[in-house]
Amino acid sequence: MTRIEHLTESGLLARITPGLTQGADVELGPGDDAAVVRLASPRLVITTDTLTEGHDFLLDGTTPAWIGHKAAVQNLADVAAMGARPQAVVVSVSAPRETGAALLEGISAGLAERCARDSVSVVGGDLGAADALSITVTAVGALAVDQEPITRSGARPGQVLAVGSDLLGRSAAGLALVLAGAGNDPDEDWARGLVAWHDAPDPDLSLGWTQCPGRARAMIDVSDGLARDGGRLAVASGVEIDLDREVLGRDVERLATSAQRIGERTGERIDPWEWVLGSGEEHALLATFDPGDVPSGFRTIGIVRAAQAGARGSEEGTALRMDGQPIADLGFDHFG
Establish whether 279 is an annotated binding residue.
no
Burial class (CB in 10 A: 0-12, 13-18, 19+), 264: exposed
Burial class (CB in 10 A: 0-12, 13-18, 19+), 109: middle
Burial class (CB in 10 A: 0-12, 13-18, 19+), 314: exposed
Inter-residue contact 54 to 41 (CB < 8 Å): no
Establish whether 33 is an annotated binding residue.
yes
Establish whether 56 is an annotated binding residue.
yes
How far is residue 160 from each of residues 84, 122, 166, 300, 329, measured CA to CA in Å?
22, 36, 16, 7, 22
Is the pLDDT assigned to residue 94 strictly greater than 50? yes
153-162, 169-178, 216-225, 324-333, range with the lowest pLDDT: 324-333
Please calculate the CA angle 73-74-76 and round it to the nearest 5 degrees.
60
Establish whether 152 is an annotated binding residue.
yes
In eight-state DSSP terms, residue 94 is: E
312 — pLDDT class (breaks 50, 70, 90): very low
In angstroms, the first-to-last Cα distance of the chain is: 39
Q: What's the pTM value of the predicted model, to 2 decimals? A: 0.91
Establish whether 47 is an annotated binding residue.
yes
All domains of the chain, ordered by start, with CATH? Answer: 4-143 (3.30.1330.10), 160-326 (3.90.650.10)
Establish whether 54 is an annotated binding residue.
no
Mean pLDDT estimate for the chain: 90
Question: pLDDT tens across 116-135, in order?
Answer: 999 999 999 888 899 999 99
Establish whether 271 is an annotated binding residue.
no
- The set of residues, in sequence order, having a beta carbon less than 8 Å from that of 273 and lying 6+ positions away, is 252
- The set of residues, in sequence order, having a beta carbon less than 8 Å from that of 229 and lying 6+ positions away, is 220, 221, 222, 223, 286, 331
Establish whether 289 is an annotated binding residue.
no
Percent of the chain with pLDDT over 90: 71
Establish whether 78 is an annotated binding residue.
yes
Establish whether 199 is an annotated binding residue.
no
